Amino acid sequence: MDSGSKIIPLAVLLSLTIAINFPFGYLRRRTKRYSFKWFLYIHLPIPLIFLMRALSHLDFRYIPLFVLAAVIGQLWGGRAEF
């Protein structure tokens, strides 16, 4: 895959990463900081994101973008009010 054909799958996977982390950020904000649940809500989506990236055959150099997308999803979820 050349770099031009990776843009759309990358954008889709980054959007999914934000979407996956959003509910976990919402759940995380309701828990006590540094508790087991707080730790779990932060780290539970990571294997799924790794699996998505690996199955899409994206290089390891895109990992910082996925970390940034995960943090954005956690922060947005933590600020959401329902």
Place of tokens 């990463």: 17
User: What's the average model confidence in pLDDT over 2-31?
Assistant: 93
* Whether the model pTM is above 0.85: yes
pLDDT in tens, 23-64: 999 999 999 999 999 999 999 999 999 999 999 999 999 999
Question: Which of 33-56 are b and which e, b meaning 16 or more Cβ less than 10 Å from the residue's Cβ?
Answer: eeeeebeebbeebeeebeebbeee
- What's the confidence (pLDDT) of residue 1? 59
Model pLDDT, residue 4:
75
